[in-house]
Amino acid sequence: MAKQKVLVTGGTGYIGSHTVVELIENGYEVEILDNLYNSKIGVLDIIEKLTGVRPKFYEVDLRDTEGLARVFAKNHYDGVIHFAGLKAVAESVEKPLEYYENNVGGTINLLECMQAYGVKNLIFSSSATVYGEQGEEQCVEDMPTGRALTNPYGRTKYFIEEILKDVCVSDPEFHAVILRYFNPIGAHSSGLLGEDPNDKPNNLMPIVMKVAAGEISELSIYGNDYPTPDGTCMRDYIHVVDLARGHVCALEKIGREQIQVYNLGTGQATSVLEIIKAFSKASGVALPHRVVERRPGDLAIICANAEKAKTELDWEAKLTVEDAIRDTLNYLEHQDA
């Protein structure tokens, strides 16, 4: 796709904001739509500081069909990158309807608007969670999905992927790229942009940050009796800036096929204990931790096979877990300042 105008839903959120920076730096005109449920308006100031451009912002909820239509009526977008959604796995078990309404309902509204206003290109934030338990070391894009999913959040991602396939069948001019993220961590190298949720953090790295800042007394390691070298779970941690770059590559290649699916990961898995050691080494401070019960639904290892994105999108992760930890610490220092 030529460098044109893109709407980014969820663009003030963690992955969305880093992607907006990369898009602007690559010459795209970007507008953001977000309801600010899990992000702050101040992110726009940071984007402006980093890029010199302040993207137009619409405080709109995807469930507000009229508000959404007003945004599409005012603009012609060449494509949409769709990050907006709820993402807390445990909360999705407690509030499944909220997750289906927000994630699936919100996406249907977005697709209807895109149809009504003739917008034919969509990039969707999916997740490695759609693979469920495969019994293989690495997940490959053509493996079956949607089996043995343990929570409604994961099912929303799976259902949306299936909806996108159906929309592609119904409209031969519609193009979708499904990006399955593994575990995004890290922050922008400036230290200005990072993960700053309004909600209580659920993921490992934001919790590690809170322990390092003394806001949480210790890190609970969810089990050390998994079939991994040190007994703790292993994940494919990917630097958020690498992930953001992946979206720019996907936009450049959208439309080669009607529906394209890619893993965005590094192909390397790191254990919880290795993360703790790397964090302590980089910060020079021991991170208090304690092994507790396994967390229900956790798998021993989740790791990407990232070959397809390398071959077809010309994208691969360049940054390491150590880079991500360094950038996270830098972000933490800027937050304190």
Residue of 262, 259, 236 lying closest to 247 (CA atoms): 262
**Region binding ligand NAD by CB under 6 A among candidate stretches 90-98, 181-189, 223-231, 309-317:** 181-189
153 is catalytic: yes
**Region binding ligand NAD by CB under 6 A among candidate stretches 29-37, 72-80, 158-166, 210-218:** 29-37
- Quick one: 77 or 181, whose CB is closer to ligand UFG? 181
Report residue 225 as tokens. Answer: 């009796």
Q: Which residues of this chain interact with ligand UFG, rule CB under 6 A?
A: 87, 89, 127-129, 182-183, 202-204, 207, 219-222, 233, 235, 272, 295, 298, 302
Cβ-contact 173, 164 below 8 angstroms: no
Residue of 253, 255, 270, 236 lying closest to 308 (CA atoms): 253
194 binds ligand NAD (CB under 6 A): no
Angle between the N-to-C axes of helices 321-336 and 272-283, in degrees from 0 to 180, rounded to the nearest 10: 50
Element (H, E) at 201: none
Site residue total, ligand NAD (CB under 6 A) = 29
Q: In the bound complex, what is the minimum distance in angstroms from residue 262's beta carbon to ligand NAD?
A: 13
Report how far residue 238's alpha carbon sits from residue 236's, in angstroms, rounded to the nearest whole number.
6
Report how far residue 195's alpha carbon sits from residue 209's, in angstroms, rounded to the nearest whole number.
10
184 binds ligand NAD (CB under 6 A): yes
34 binds ligand NAD (CB under 6 A): yes
Sign of CA dihedral 254, 31, 154, 331: positive
Residues 74-93, one symbol each (x = binds ligand NAD by CB under 6 A, - = not), give ---------xxxxx------
H-only helix segments in the chain: 14-25, 43-51, 65-74, 89-94, 96-99, 106-116, 152-170, 204-212, 240-253, 272-283, 307-308, 321-336
Q: Please enumerate in sequence order all residues whose Cβ is within 8 A of that of 25, keeping only pairs 6 or more positions apart, or say none.
A: 51
- Quick one: 24 or 302, whose CB is closer to ligand UFG? 302
- Catalytic residue (one of 14, 58, 131, 153): 153
Report how far residue 192's alpha carbon sits from residue 47's, in angstroms, rounded to the nearest whole number.
9
- Quick one: 24 or 178, whose CB is closer to ligand UFG? 178
- Quick one: 58 or 158, whose CB is closer to ligand UFG? 158
With CB under 6 A as the contact rule, the residue among 38, 151, 232, 266 that binds ligand NAD is 38
With CB under 6 A as the contact rule, the residue among 28, 35, 46, 107 that binds ligand NAD is 35
Question: Rule CB under 6 A: which residues touch ligand NAD?
Answer: 10, 12-16, 34-39, 61-63, 83-87, 102, 106, 125, 127, 181, 183-184, 197, 203
Which residues does the annotation mark as catalytic? 153
